[in-house]
A and B are shown apart, each in its own frame.
Chain A
Amino acid sequence: MTVSDPRTDIPKGARPEEQITTDPSKPAQRMRSGSLVLTLAPWVIASVVLAILPMVFTNNSALTIMNQMSITIVFALAYNMLLGQGGMLSFGHAVYAGVGGFACMHIMNMSDFFSTIPLVILPVFGGLFGMGLAMIVGAFSTRNAGTVFAMISLGVGELIAACSVIIVAFFGGEEGVSGDRTYAQPFFGVEFLQQIEVYYLTAGWVVVSAALMYLWSRTPVGRMANAVRDNPERAEFLGYSSRWVRFYSFVASGFFAGVSGGLFAINYEILTEENLNTASSGIILLVTFLGGVGFFFGPIIGAIAFTLLQTVLSLSTELWAFYAGILFLSTVMFFPGGLAGLLMMHVPVFKLGKASSLIKPYLMTLLPAAIGLMGLAALVEMTFHYRHGATGDNEMTVFWTTFDSHTLMPWLVAGAITLIGLGIAKVTAPALREAWSEATTAGGAS
């Protein structure tokens, strides 16, 4: 790392520590450790929701989406152990998930061994392989954080992704490795033939691994990871080797990435080069950052939001990656705390009991802004259709309206909607800003 203030390495407003009250009469820690109900409540609620969800959304495609979501949650949480808690930016983390997944695939294909273990514990093997690889790579990559670590992670990631075409025995070349999960020893009579059984397996693993990762972040090692992230020099003066602290975080993150790879193997029963390459590593970075790296639950929100966005948008538009890119870039530029940071910004407002005063300004600014952005999106879609649509195919559908993109009228309408929507938002924005500063300051007229 070159000259930089380590304290600024994590976005402002994204640090949970800043929210903790320093009022000596009410120490935050004591309250937290004293009240078991408060600590356990989110976990119980999450487990119940996960158990109920398949009864609400019963069709198979919803189950597939939820499985995908769960896998992404585990992976994003593992990634955030590095990025958010350890301050290490990795551009090749898909490799650990991928290798864990490939290892699980090979175990599935070793029928003698596979038939003696229940499928439920298969992700552990994926985790162990991911951890093994992380130990090898971490031995030399965790010497530095920051840019050098990022470079090494990128190089190793590219190297292993390129190897996948060469080392056919392990990575299966271009067609990948496939297997059959049902050959495992039945787990209390369940053979995992149906999607719903796989869903409960995945959901169980999400809860278990999220809980383990949360507990890890509470251990001294997890706490030291935060310290090393914020100020490695000071951590060294306290007698901790920042390199080894980084190494432990890296290895633990590799384990849970491997678990997510194992879950992927169970779900899709095939792994290919796509699970290893830089694109997958980039997506997990996007998911984690979108959710917010400063809070433990940030990646969970990110994974849910991103998977929904991906499935919903990619069904309706070819340009979904373009919108995702814009969303990502504006998150980095304007909301470095991510979605979780945005949510947590409102905690003081609720504590002050002024949340209701924000509803009207929010509606007055965000609603026109959303409509304006929809108009803008329509313009983008129309431009795309105009340039790349097949000749003669002038009909297109945007926002449930079908029209001819080669006539002037739709362009005028979309342009007008964009201008008016964004214009109103611009006019009402100062009022929102005022209401916000009013709502976040204690006292005064409420």
Chain B
Amino acid sequence: MDLILVNLIDGLVTGLLLFMLSAGLTLIFSMMGVLNFAHASFYMLGAYFAYQISIALGFWMGLLIAPLVVGVLGAGVERYGLRRVHQYGHVPELIFTFGLALLIEELVQFIWGKNQLPYSVPDALNFTAFAISGNSIPAYKIFMIFISISIFIGLLYVLTKTRVGMIIQAALSYPRTVEALGHNVPLIFMGVFGVGTALAGVAGVIAGPVLGTFPGMAFVLGSIVFVTIVIGGLGSLWGALIASLLIGWITTFAKSYNIEMENILTGLGISKPESLDDSIFRDFWSLTSPQIADILPYILMVLILIFRPAGLFGKRSS
């Protein structure tokens, strides 16, 4: 029971972190119809910028400034890169963001080198918040949960209650009409792209100390983020939230409970073959859940795409 609680908290942290990335990605997608492959790269840039700033000004200034810098960079990419490629259509747009992801990874290696950076949890948060029957929960995890939830609430408030949010939502569905009403739609697009990448930057700043700040960090998280928004339904904010939490919990639980395929199969009444060495199913019999924890999201995604192509909360199939 106690272990379940600890895993719930761990899964929540992973899920909310995923959500901060997928929220921006899904917003950008529903607005421009372009899937930003470089989204996780902006997350990585957030962590690296925060590290560089934290050397000079400390962690808190990093948390404040780095997302802003990342957001401005993202807006610049939209203004001078994507808008130019947009005229060629969606496939070149996808290819452009893919190339951008490659380039940012190389750029980061060029500037900061290939090794992991010593970017660590600030002293103010480096203590144990509380313990659940011997399993200590660090304060930094609580801080991460707190930051992500407040960002989610803030985003929801801005999008649904303020005038800016109304215009953004209108521009999502009827860009031409909104433009005819006198709003600068390209500017809105640029702004949303900037805010989306800034959100990814925040995620990078707070995840960098825990998950490690290294050139591969975008790649590790990048494809999972896509899986998340596909499962949640492309363009749905709530779907992104549910899918992020789902993936966070599934992977955490699969890693901490050692469920063996052998037990499942014998439980189903299939008898184990005498000598496993010759059987082509030998790897299948010896599967354990921590082994497949990392590919569970992909399996989930393929299943979702086969049985419900629109995703959990998506409205349209494409």
Contacts and interface: CB of A to CB of B under 8 A. Distances in A.
Contacts, number: 143
Interface stretch (B106-114, B147-155, B181-189, B242-250): B106-114
A321 B106 contact: yes
A150 B34 CA distance: 12
Interface string A1-26: 11111001111100000000000000
B28 interface: no
Nearest to A288: B95
B110 A322 contact: yes
Interface in A329-374: 329, 332-333, 336
Chain A contact residues (Cβ within 8 angstroms of B): what range?
35 or more
Given A2-B318, A387-B111, A140 B292 contact: no
A33 B1 CA distance: 76
B273 interface: no
Contacts of A159: 295, 298-299, 302
B88 A11 contact: yes
B300 to A, nearest CB: 10
B111 A155 contact: no
A314 interface: no
B128 interface: no
Interface stretch (A162-170, A200-208, A257-265, A432-440): A162-170
A332 B110 contact: no
B95 A278 contact: no
Nearest to A1: B318
Interface string A141-153: 1011011101110
Interface string B113-135: 10000000000000000000000
11 contacts: A140-B306, A151-B305, A156-B298, A159-B298, A162-B295, A166-B283, A325-B102, A325-B103, A328-B99, A329-B96, A332-B95
Given A169-B280, A278-B223, A326-B103, A148 B94 contact: no
Given A140-B305, A147-B234, A156-B302, A322 B283 contact: no
Contact of B302 (A155, A282, A333, A380): A155
A11 B92 contact: yes
Main SS class of interface, A: helix
Interface in A74-112: 83, 87, 89, 91
Given A12-B88, A282-B102, A155 B96 contact: no
A129 interface: no
Given A4-B33, A155-B230, A322 B94 contact: no
B89 A9 contact: yes
Interface string B55-98: 00000000000000000000000000100110111111011101
Interface of B: 33, 35, 81, 84-85, 87-92, 94-96, 98-100, 102-103, 106-107, 109-111, 113, 219, 223, 226-227, 230, 234, 280, 282-284, 287, 291-292, 294-295, 298-299, 301-302, 305-306, 309, 316-318
Contacts of A156: 298, 302
Contacts of B111: 387
Contact of B318 (A140, A146, A329): A146
A9 B317 contact: no
A147 B85 contact: no
Contacts of B299: 159
Contacts of A2: 33, 90, 316, 318
Interface of A: 1-5, 8-12, 83, 87, 89, 91, 140-141, 143-144, 146-148, 150-152, 154-156, 158-159, 162-163, 166-169, 278, 282, 285-286, 289, 319, 321-322, 325-326, 328-329, 332-333, 336, 380, 384, 387-388
Which of B88, B95, B96, B282 has the most chain A CB within a 10 Å cutoff?
B95
A5 B84 contact: no
B52 to A, nearest CB: 13
A167 B291 CA distance: 11
Contacts of A10: 88-89, 91
Contacts of A89: 91, 94-95
A154 B100 contact: no
A441 to B, nearest CB: 24
Given A152-B305, A166-B283, A8 B87 contact: yes
Given A147-B318, A155-B302, A332-B92, 14 more contacts: A2-B318, A11-B88, A12-B87, A12-B88, A155-B230, A156-B298, A168-B283, A169-B280, A289-B95, A319-B106, A322-B107, A328-B102, A333-B85, A333-B96
